[in-house]
Structures are given as C-alpha cells and as structure tokens.
Amino acid sequence: MRGVGRAGGGAPAGGAVGGAVGGVRGGRTGGGFSLPAAGSGAGAGVAAVAPAGPLGLGLLALQEGGEAARRDAAARQRAESLLEELAGLQLDLLAGGVDPARLERLAALTPGDAGADPELQVVVQGVVLRAHVEIARRGGNLFVSAE
C-alpha cells in the first residue's frame, strides 16, 4: 500500500502541493480549490485580455451575415421552385400540351434576388435564363421582366 495518501507521487494528502490549488495559503492547509486574492496579478491578466473594440461592430457583422444567409436561402428556394416548374413544363410537353397556368407561375417566379453568394448568383441566374427562354418559346404573350 505504498501509494496510499499520495496523489500521483506528489506531496502527502493534506499537505502543501504548491500554487493555489490545494496548497498552503495564508498559513492554512486545505485540499480544496481556492481563488487568488483580488489584488494579485492573476486576476489582472484576465482583465488585460478583454477585447478593446466596441461591441456594436461585432453585432453589425453578425446581422449582416444573417441577412446574407436569409438572401441565399430565399434565392435557393426560388431556384428550386423554378426548377420544379420547368420539370413540370417538360412533363407537359411530353404529354402533348402546355398548361398556361404553369407558364404564368414560371413567369411569376423569375423576378427576385439571386442571393448574396456569387456562386449561387450564377446558378440562380442560369435557372432564371432557362425559364425566360421557355416562357418566350411557349407563351410569347407573357411579360418577362429583365433582372
């Protein structure tokens, strides 16, 4: 039972281990955790690490990032809806006819934001261009607005 009373071969149980944890502080011995005194140098180091910049700029950056994410999500949803309508138009053509209501829905989906992400913008603009082509080919009298 050689290691009993010792923590990993250190000082005897209840003795001074060193530092603030479980050590001797002000003449007392204890095995618990103790915080440094308010005027000691350890607390001053934490205060020096605190950010010096205004918090408002960080919040604005977070809000801007949230706005870009919302724009991207709306653009993705719009592109998916356009693709669904284009797939439906393809099925209509294979069945032998074109549903005028589908062309109107397609025309209604073409205007809108392409998102904040440049790569997403390219994809959305490509889908919108395809919708414009199909509307021009199938429903020449529908108004197609340019973005």
SS3 call for 51: coil
Query: What is the structure's pLDDT at 133?
Result: 93
Q: What is the chain's Cα-based Rg?
A: 34
Q: In angstroms, rounded to a whole number, what is the distance separating the alpha carbons of residues 37 and 9?
A: 29
Q: In angstroms, rounded to a whole number, what is the distance separating the alpha carbons of residues 10 and 3?
A: 10
The pLDDT averaged over each successive group of 10 residues in the chain (147 residues) is 50 48 52 66 52 56 74 94 94 90 92 91 95 86 53
Pseudo-torsion of CA 124, 127, 128, 130, nearest 10°?
160
Cut 0.75: pTM above it: no
Query: What is the structure's pLDDT at 19?
Result: 47
Query: What is the structure's pLDDT at 18?
Result: 47
Query: What is the structure's pLDDT at 23?
Result: 47
One-letter amino acid identity for 137? R
Query: What is the structure's pLDDT at 128?
Result: 95
